[in-house]
Amino acid sequence: MLNVEGLHAAVGDRPILRGVELTLRPGEVHALMGPNGSGKSTLVHVLAGRPGYRVTAGRATLDGVDLLAMEPEQRAGAGVFLGFQHPVEIPGVSQQLFLKTALNALRRRRGEAELDASDCRERILRATRSIGLEESILSRSVNAGFSGGEKKQNELLQMATLTPRLALLDEMDSGLDIDALARVSQGIQALRGPDRAILLVTHHQRMLDWVVPDRVHVMIEGRIVLSGGSDLARELERRGYGWLMEEAA
Amino acid sequence: MNATEVQDSYVGQFQDHAEREARRPPPWLRRDRAGAMDRFVVAGFPTRRMEAWKYDVLAPVTEEPFILSEPSCIGLDPEDLDPLLLNRGEGAHLVFVNGWFAPTLSAGSALPRGVRMGGMARRMAADPAELLPAFSNEEAQPDHGFTELNRAMWQDGAFVQLGPELDPEWTVQLLFLNSESLEPLLIQPRNLLMVEAGCRARVVETHLSLGRSAHFTNAWTTLLLERGAHLDYQLWLDGGPHARHIGSMRVTQAADSVLEAGLFALGGRLTRQEVEVNLSEPGAECRLHGLLAATAHQQVDFHLNVRHAASSTTSHQEFRGLADGHGRGIFNGRVWVAPGVREIVSGQTTRNMLLSPEAEIDAKPQLEIHADDVQCVHGATVGSPDEEALFYLRSRGLDGQTALALLVEAFVGDVLNRGEPEPLRDWMKQRFNAWRASP
């Protein structure tokens, strides 16, 4: 489904990704771990099309379609969803309007008919309940004044509404207390599906107790240096990244 | 034509105007007009060397002559006005065509008790003595060439007096409508709004255009709020891309009066609105908000001057600026606190968004505080739309244009959504969206 081959990317003249190889199949959840600054977040942002990064070599395809040639909104149309580590506050834009606009924009891109107001609302309400959020969150402005946990859950609400094929979730566990972490993790677990692949970027193993990944990858200095099963996350928790960094050097 | 030649043309028109004035004005008004003309001749138009005008490019009004407008018949039916009218409920509207009161297009025959309104020229002819105090109020005298020009040659305008028994939902709309004509016209409304003690009232003043005319409206408005009066006032300047508009408004607020005012200007070749609010007695409060928006080669300038002349007075200002294309915006928000007054609260926020590299907004808060017991908060920002927010929206499938439109809507929504009642808000949003969509 997602194939990343020899991907190199830079910010300005500074190389960050130095030959990433990664394959995700439908239904799989992969965790991407690694020390700060290793390039994990850069990888998901490059895949989602964030401006400011320059791809210098390599390929990334979703179901055989070249992702890197597309604008961010076209990638969303192709089924890519980026869950932000720091979701953006947009005062004055209601969640309801935002979700409805995004949902219909994606439907148009996929060649589907737009949903009318009541079908939209029904779809959004169902997604809201599935994430365990109160309906009242829909009348608030996008992320404005949300707690850390609410922001992360709100990313999942968008994911549940927009039903992407590929979800790239960037550090959904950062800055959460243990209760919020449990809620967000359960949300992600509920969004697993046979047709959907999820790439979880995380620093810590905590979240992986709830969302048990099919594969765990370790990124160091812009490359995936080690991949393994879910046990690898526990080993990393125990041993840290030092031994891998030495090997990589 | 240069500014001096334009000025000379107004001197000539002034003499014709004085000779032709149909209803003979009272001697005090003749003197008032002549004195203003003399001062205009000496002072001339403001120039960019003056601090208060240094950002304004005045050529669109000082280097072309405009012909003093005459009452004209434009063949409009009252129903033609429907899309331009806000009143769907209780209220009345006064319509002015090229600055002249048009009674046949206006409605409001069954005025509530305590309400008087109509054209200023008729009012002056009927009872000049009644107008003398407001016209000779020293606090509200002109201070630059444009206001002198209005004072010398104003022709008509709105006279509105609202009494204490008025239903607060009853809305007055002043609709200034400029028509298409061959010559660019000089339109000079002189407006007087009086809100009596204890009255709660709502007035909406709209300046719109029927064509793409390049007329010059040079308006002067006096607003008097008596003790305990509460006025909700909205000014909507939307005369099209070629309109020239210089408006001066002087507000005097008595004790415990409240002014809630929205000021909105959508483009125009040159639009400058001055508002001076005199909080002259304790307990007076003004809350001003609004939006200035400019695109293409338009220029919009808000010049606010809030004067805390008495203790226990409060002012709030919340403004947004939006500039696209080569548009220029200017926001000057002066707050002046008199020596020795106490318990002053004042807040001012202006946020400005630039949508193109060539757009420019000059935001200048100006605080002059001569007292100690003052709580004063202000903030001004100018910046581009948030790139992070744009990417966030695009990552959800919205194209760049839709994402930007959503951010702009949210940005202006802060001030556009304050209008009451709801039909007014909807009307404002429609006009704003039409302006955004216009080439």
Between A and B, how many residue pairs show a Cβ–Cβ distance under 8 A? 75
Give the DSSP per-residue string, A156-173: HHHHHHH--SEEEEE-TT
Query: For residue B279, what pLDDT is reported?
Result: 98
List, for residues A203-230, the tens digit of each pLDDT value: 878 899 899 999 999 999 999 999 999 9
List, for residues B76-112, the tens digit of each pLDDT value: 888 888 888 886 667 899 999 999 999 988 886 578 8
Q: Is the pLDDT of residue B23 over 70?
A: no
Mean pLDDT of A85-109: 94
Nearest CA-CA distance, residue A82 and chain B, Å: 7
Query: For residue A248, what pLDDT is reported?
Result: 67
Cross-chain Cβ contact A92/B410 below 8 Å: yes
List, for residues A15-34, the tens digit of each pLDDT value: 999 999 999 999 999 999 99
B318 at A interface, C-beta within 8 A: no
Cross-chain Cβ contact B396/A162 below 8 Å: yes
Query: For residue B87, what pLDDT is reported?
Result: 67
CA gap B268, B289 in Å, rounded? 20
Of A88, A105, A162, the CB nearest to B388: A88
pLDDT band at A79 (very low <50, low <70, confident <90, very high): very high
Cross-chain Cβ contact B392/A158 below 8 Å: no
Cross-chain Cβ contact B409/A91 below 8 Å: no
Which B positions 343-402 lie with beta carbon below 8 A of chain A? 386-389, 391-400, 402
Q: Is the pLDDT of residue B75 over 80?
A: no
Q: Is A20 helix (H, G, I), strand (E, B) or coil?
A: strand
Nearest CA-CA distance, residue B391 and chain A, Å: 7
Query: For residue A249, what pLDDT is reported?
Result: 65
Residue in A with minimal Cα distance to B390: A88
From chain B, the residues in CB contact with A98 under 8 A are: 393, 396, 406
From chain A, the residues in CB contact with B387 under 8 A are: 51
B411 at A interface, C-beta within 8 A: yes
Query: For residue B420, what pLDDT is reported?
Result: 78
Q: Is the pLDDT of residue A47 over 80?
A: yes
User: Among A175, A168, A182, A186, which residue's Cα sits nearest to residue A62?
Assistant: A168
Mean pLDDT of all residues belonging to chain B: 92
User: Among A173, A148, A168, A178, which residue's Cα sits nearest to residue A233?
Assistant: A173
User: Among B241, B239, B257, B259, which residue's Cα sits nearest to residue B304?
Assistant: B259
List, for residues B34-50, the tens digit of each pLDDT value: 999 999 999 999 999 99
From chain A, the residues in CB contact with B400 under 8 A are: 71, 73
Q: Is the pLDDT of residue B63 over 80?
A: yes
Give the DSSP per-residue string, A171-205: -TTTT--HHHHHHHHHHHHHT--TT-EEEEE-S-S
Query: For residue B197, what pLDDT is reported?
Result: 96
Query: For residue B136, what pLDDT is reported?
Result: 80
Nearest CA-CA distance, residue A43 and chain B, Å: 15
Query: For residue B238, what pLDDT is reported?
Result: 95
Please tell me whether the interface predicted TM-score (ipTM) of this complex is above 0.90.
Answer: yes
Q: A44 near A31, Cβ under 8 Å?
A: no
Instruction: List strand residue ranges (DSSP E) for B326-383, in order.
Output: 328-337, 344-354, 360-369, 374-383
From chain A, the residues in CB contact with B414 under 8 A are: 91-92
Instruction: List strand residue ranges (DSSP E) for B98-215, in order.
Output: 100-101, 116-119, 158-162, 171-178, 185-187, 190-195, 200-209
Query: For residue B20, what pLDDT is reported?
Result: 77
Nearest CA-CA distance, residue B410 and chain A, Å: 4
CATH number at residue A165: 3.40.50.300
Q: Is the pLDDT of residue B276 over 90?
A: yes
Query: For residue B414, what pLDDT is reported?
Result: 87
Query: For residue B89, what pLDDT is reported?
Result: 66
Nearest CA-CA distance, residue A222 and chain B, Å: 23
Query: For residue B140, what pLDDT is reported?
Result: 60
Residue in B with minimal Cα distance to A50: B391
Of A48, A49, A101, the CB nearest to B398: A101
Cross-chain Cβ contact B396/A49 below 8 Å: no
List, for residues A139-193, the tens digit of each pLDDT value: 999 999 999 999 999 999 999 999 999 999 999 998 888 899 999 999 999 999 9
Q: Which residue has the higher pLDDT, A113 or B90?
A: A113
Cross-chain Cβ contact B392/A84 below 8 Å: yes
List, for residues B232-262, the tens digit of each pLDDT value: 999 999 999 999 999 999 999 999 999 999 9
List, for residues B122-154, the tens digit of each pLDDT value: 999 999 999 988 888 766 666 899 999 999 999
Cross-chain Cβ contact B395/A76 below 8 Å: yes
Nearest CA-CA distance, residue A95 and chain B, Å: 12
Which DSSP symbol is given to B184?
P
Nearest CA-CA distance, residue A108 and chain B, Å: 10
Q: Is A146 helix (H, G, I), strand (E, B) or coil?
A: coil
Query: For residue B109, what pLDDT is reported?
Result: 53
Nearest CA-CA distance, residue B329 and chain A, Å: 22
CA distances from residue A211 to A32, A187, A196, B35 in whole angstroms, order as listed: 13, 9, 14, 84
From chain A, the residues in CB contact with B394 under 8 A are: 49, 71-73, 76
Q: Is the pLDDT of residue B71 over 90?
A: no
Domain ranges of chain B: 3-386
Domain count, chain A: 1
Which of B213-222, B247-256, B304-313, B416-425 is the least confident region? B416-425
pLDDT band at B397 (very low <50, low <70, confident <90, very high): very high
pLDDT band at B422 (very low <50, low <70, confident <90, very high): confident
Cross-chain Cβ contact A82/B407 below 8 Å: no
Question: Between the ranges A112-121, B23-32, B130-139, where is the mean pLDDT highest?
Answer: A112-121
Q: Is the pLDDT of residue B192 over 90?
A: yes
Cross-chain Cβ contact A73/B397 below 8 Å: yes
Cross-chain Cβ contact A158/B409 below 8 Å: no
**By residue range, what is the domain housing residue A196?**
2-248
Residue B164, preceding peptide bond in cis (omega within 30° of 0): no
Mean pLDDT of A32-58: 95
